Structure 1
Amino acid sequence: MPTITPVLGDITTQEVDAIVNAANNAMRGGGGVDGAIHRAGGPDILRDCIARFPDGLATGDAGWTTAGDLPARWVIHTVGPNYAAGQRDRALLESCYRRVLEVADELGARTVAFPLISAGVYGWPLPDAVAVAVETITSTPTKVEEARLVALGDNPFALLREAMPPSA
């Protein structure tokens, strides 16, 4: 089980092996975390998305690209369910975290920084988004040693700290 570290800050500044992008199905950049990662990482990320995902990516799946100018080796993109648009199957959100860890293992990534997938513009209720993140990361077999859960604001960060397992 990886060590889960709650972090208050900007995911684009995390010095880790892989940064997780909460992407949309088109895989061409967007708002929220997706837009921030594309802006900070530069045009190489979009070029790689176009080349590697010509038909986009399914909700609940994950895949990787270069990290461009980010302080990481890779960006692992995952498409969370859009709660605000009626995609409310919790299993899809759990799949995002599991697939990211699988891709991280394929890459040999040992440190991974996650946003709270679907908790921003996609509207997943924050307490449940935190619970899914912690529960899924702690129950998924992986070689990842540290999973950082990066919160942009004080409220999500407080919820993350409260949700930490006793060993964290």
Structure 2
Amino acid sequence: MTNLIEEEVDAIVNAANATSIGGAGVDGAVHKACGPGLATECRTFARVNGDWCPTGTVRVTGAHDLTKVKHVIHTAGPVGENPDLLASCYREAIKAANENKLTSIAFPSISTGIFGYPLESAAKTAIKTVAEELKKPGTLREVRWCFLDNRESFNAYRKALDSQG
């Protein structure tokens, strides 16, 4: 298990909040590591129905003070269990990585913290979606998983990966 903000990849994915910038959990850690320039850049995005990053979509920014990565791909996951919206977060992040000609990306476990998505269900959706997206043409070659909490997330994602075959 590694810390998302310590990864050396082209992009990290920030589990963002749709309505606010630089909240708690992954979002807070990413904003702290990237410095104030990240929040400033995030505020430049047009709001959609009041959200700076609508649920299931992504916004791509620079990494600012986080020098080991080129971009931060922000996505706001669903509150509670919604497989379609969660899958959209992963799908859109991979699409953005390919559009920006990135070769490596690191994901957290989106929505399983304060958003309350059940961990095992989220892991299955994440692994299935990423596996499907990686079969499509694109520049992305490496996907890493990073968890802030403990071995529980690691074990859930490993189980989901093992069940993919």
Given the two structures, how large is their TM-score scaled by the length of structure 2?
Answer: 0.88
- Give the whole-Å Cα distance in 1 for the aligned partners of 2:20 and 2:13: 13
Identity of aligned residues (%): 38
Secondary structure of residue in 1 paired with 2:32: helix
Indicate whether 1:20 and 2:13 are aligned: yes
Structure 1's unaligned 5+ residue stretches are 1-7
Cα offset, 1:143, TM superposition:
2.7
Cα offset, 1:120, TM superposition:
0.9
Partner of 1:146: 142
Give the letter for the 1:100 counterpart.
A
Indicate whether 1:107 and 2:96 are aligned: no
Indicate whether 1:156 and 2:149 are aligned: no
Partner of 1:5: none
Secondary structure of residue in 1 paired with 2:23: coil
Question: Larger strand proportion, structure 1 or 2?
Answer: 1
- Give the whole-Å Cα distance in 2 for the aligned partners of 1:57 and 1:159: 27
Cα offset, 1:20, TM superposition:
0.2
- Cα deviation 1:24-65 (Å, max 9, x = unaligned): 112511111000000011111111101134551211001100
* 8 Å contact kept, 1:27–1:50: no
Given the two structures, how large is their TM-score scaled by the length of structure 1?
Answer: 0.87
- Give the whole-Å Cα distance in 2 for the aligned partners of 1:14 and 1:111: 10
Map 1:107-146; keep pairs closer than 5 Å: 107-140=100-133, 141=136, 142-146=138-142
Structure 2's unaligned 5+ residue stretches are none
Secondary structure of residue in 2 paired with 1:20: strand
Indicate whether 1:73 and 2:70 are aligned: yes
Equivalences, count: 157
Partner of 2:58: 62
Relative contact order: is structure 1 or structure 2 higher (C-alpha 8 Å, sep ≥ 6)?
1
1:31 to 20, 24, 33: 24
* 8 Å contact kept, 1:112–1:148: yes
Cα offset, 1:161, TM superposition:
2.1
- Give the whole-Å Cα distance in 1 for the aligned partners of 2:85 and 2:145: 18
* 8 Å contact kept, 1:27–1:49: no
Partner of 1:92: 85
Q: For the structure 1 residues 29 and 160, does the alpha-carbon distance in structure 2 shift closer, same or farther, using more than 3 Å as the test? A: same
* 8 Å contact kept, 2:58–2:74: yes
